[in-house]
Amino acid sequence: MICEWRYGGSYSLFIVGLVIIATIISSSYSRDSSNYVQMFNIYGASGWGAFSSEVVYRETFVVALSKLIHQLGLGSIYFFLIHAAISVPIKLFLISKYSRDKWLSIALFFSYFFILHDSTQIRFGLSVAFVYLGLSYLANGKKLIFSVIVLFSAIMFHYASLAFIVMLFFTNKNALLWLFGMVIFAVLLYPVNLNINFLWLLGEVTNHFDLHGSFVNKLQRSVESPSQQEYLGMFKPTMILVYLSIFVIYQYRDRFDAYERLCFNALVLTIFFYILFKDTVDLQIRFRDMFFFSLVFLVPFIHEWLSTFMGKRNAYVMLTLSFSVYLAKFIFYDKMIVL
């Protein structure tokens, strides 16, 4: 009993430590720090009277939280702290509950998603936490609760998380056939610029259902401004990692529990959306990272596969070293933390 208490107490301190680190980085040292501080100041100072017009352009939680903190006379640091204090514990709770190797999953999480989402893209990071929480209900067959959580996440935190609703259609074991077929279809469409088609479809949906002033308009603005400064092709290093991971993890599909099966289906959807939205980089990256987060729960299978070649201990060393190298690259070469 004492050992359990100490273990639980240490893990709680670990969570608190990550929340503090995420708060410090996101508030002062991330690429998006100044933008979020400016956002906080604008929405906080405008008062509740402007709330209804502001949520047309920004998700509800950011607007409401900015006004509440500003009204209490508190600084912007609490804006970042609250995001981290909600997002990080939810993700670590899910890892603790659904990963076969909690510490290996945390190592992968910390090497990429913690810096990118919880310490930089905090709105999107919070939305990812909620959709994967919703996925736990979908794994238990509770489709309505899952749908409500995804819709809540899209309205409150980030509109892009609405795409996660497609997981409703890929819950059974036969879903993989459809998913691989969808990937092949997306590859065949790769030479075609689909941006015009996406714009037309969104316009039709907006007009037909009278969704003006909704999250659909936010999605449409992303498509209208596709951020074409860079072109992210099919063979970028991150995507090669996804391909290899799917190939390795697929071999263990007969051992998946319900949550792992959904995570693997989400991992395959990473490829589909990445290829489909190649002409709209904003959405391409958002959808890739949202569905790619499922790898956090599946990485123990990669360790198991590596263990057959080099033993469990060496496999741990290799994966941990790889995560450490990638974290260093992410921070110093990609300059995700502004020092």
The structural domain count of the chain equals 1
Non-local CB neighbours of 32 within 8 Å, separated by 6+ positions: 26, 120, 121, 122
Percent over 70 (pLDDT), the chain = 85
> Taken in order 229, 295, 61, 155, is the CA torsion positive or negative?
positive
Q: What's the rounded Cα separation, in Å, for the pair 227 and 32?
A: 17
Residue 29 lies in a domain: yes
Question: What's the pLDDT at 335?
Answer: 85
Q: What's the pLDDT tens digit per position in 25-59?
A: 999 999 899 999 999 999 999 989 999 888 888 88
Q: Are 67 and 44 in contact (CB under 8 A)?
A: yes
Q: What's the rounded Cα separation, in Å, for the pair 97 and 104?
A: 13
The pair phi, psi for residue 278, each rounded to 5°, is -60, -25
Q: Are 27 and 76 in contact (CB under 8 A)?
A: yes
Non-local CB neighbours of 43 within 8 Å, separated by 6+ positions: 54, 58, 62, 63, 66, 67, 70
Q: What is the DSSP letter of 50?
A: G
Q: What's the pLDDT tens digit per position in 292-339?
A: 999 999 999 999 999 999 999 999 999 999 999 999 998 888 888 887
Q: 321 lies in which domain range? A: 2-333
Question: What's the pLDDT at 142?
Answer: 96
Q: Is the pTM of this model over 0.85?
A: yes
Q: What's the rounded Cα separation, in Å, for the pair 53 and 134?
A: 29
Q: What is the DSSP letter of 147?
A: H
Residue 339 lies in a domain: no
Exposed, middle or buried, 167 (CB in 10 Å: 0-12/13-18/19+)? Answer: buried
The position carrying tokens 């290899």 is 244
State whether residue 32 is helix, strand or coil: coil
Question: What's the pLDDT at 180?
Answer: 92
Residue 338 lies in a domain: no
**Amino acid found at 171:** T
Non-local CB neighbours of 218 within 8 Å, separated by 6+ positions: 57, 59, 159
Q: What's the pLDDT tens digit per position in 165-221?
A: 999 999 987 898 899 999 998 888 888 777 666 666 666 666 655 555 555 555 555
List, as own/partner pairs, every contact residues 147-154 make where C-beta atoms lie below 8 angstroms and the sequence separation is at least 24, other chains included.
153/126, 153/127, 154/127, 154/215
Residue 146 lies in a domain: yes
Residue 278 lies in a domain: yes
Give one DSSP letter per residue of 296-320, joined into a string: HHHHHHHHHHHHHHH-HHHHHHHHH
Tokens coding 298? 């599946």
Residue 165 lies in a domain: yes
**Amino acid found at 169:** F
